[in-house]
């Protein structure tokens, strides 16, 4: 029989609060077994699923998207390296897009971001009269739009 972990052990090892683990379970992202006392017991491979959930959220996936990805894993056994590889294969583009967003954020912290505040001296040149608003809502230059020339 595989080693089962208590919710406290999983929380300590994963760095995720027990309340979040219960929430993930309610959403069907992870599963547990119930001990005779009714307490949750988790198989050790759940730690990888939790790590996946945490990092998928960090790159911007919603819980619905994460659930759809996890549903592609085999339900009757611990996923293998090949299973995880198939799951993550399509992520390179999304990760590259996230890296580009973060680089724009880093480079633009002191520049006009096209948000419409017009509070920086630089905004008068980059976004006169809030022309960026024509491109859509939010900080247009952070999302990749360029000021009109």
Mean pLDDT, the chain, rounded, equals 87
Q: In percent, how much of the chain has pLDDT > 70?
A: 97
Query: What residue spans of 3-148 are helical by DSSP H?
Result: 7-14, 18-26, 46-58, 63-70, 81-88, 92-108, 123-126
DSSP per position, 10-36 = HHHHHT--HHHHHHHHHTTSS--EE-T
Q: Is the pLDDT at 58 greater than 90, yes or no?
A: no
Q: CA–CA separation, 113 vs 105, rounded Å?
A: 9
Q: Can you list the domains of the chain with their CATH numbers?
A: 4-90 (1.10.1660.10), 95-135 (no CATH)
pTM of the model: 0.67
Q: Is the pLDDT at 92 greater than 70, yes or no?
A: yes
Q: CA–CA separation, 123 vs 109, rounded Å?
A: 13
Q: Is the pLDDT at 138 greater than 80, yes or no?
A: yes
Q: In percent, how much of the chain has pLDDT > 90?
A: 34
Mean pLDDT of 46-68: 90
Give the number of other CB atoms < 10 A from CB of residue 73.
18
């Amino acid at each position: 029989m595989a080693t089962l972990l208590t919710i406290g052990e999983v929380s300590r090892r994963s760095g995720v609060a027990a309340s979040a683990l219960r929430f993930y379970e309610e959403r069907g992202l992870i599963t547990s077994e119930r001990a005779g006392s009714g307490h949750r017991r988790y198989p050790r491979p759940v730690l990888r699923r939790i790590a996946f959930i945490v990092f998928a959220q960090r790159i911007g996936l919603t819980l619905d998207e994460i659930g759809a990805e996890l549903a592609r894993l085999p339900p009757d056994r611990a996923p293998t390296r090949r299973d995880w590889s198939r799951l993550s294969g399509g992520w390179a583009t999304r990760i590259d897009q996230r890296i580009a967003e973060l680089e724009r954020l880093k480079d633009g912290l002191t520049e006009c971001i096209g948000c419409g505040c017009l509070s920086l001296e630089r905004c008068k040149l980059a976004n006169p009269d809030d022309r960026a608003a024509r491109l859509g809502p939010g900080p247009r230059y952070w999302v990749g739009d360029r000021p009109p020339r």
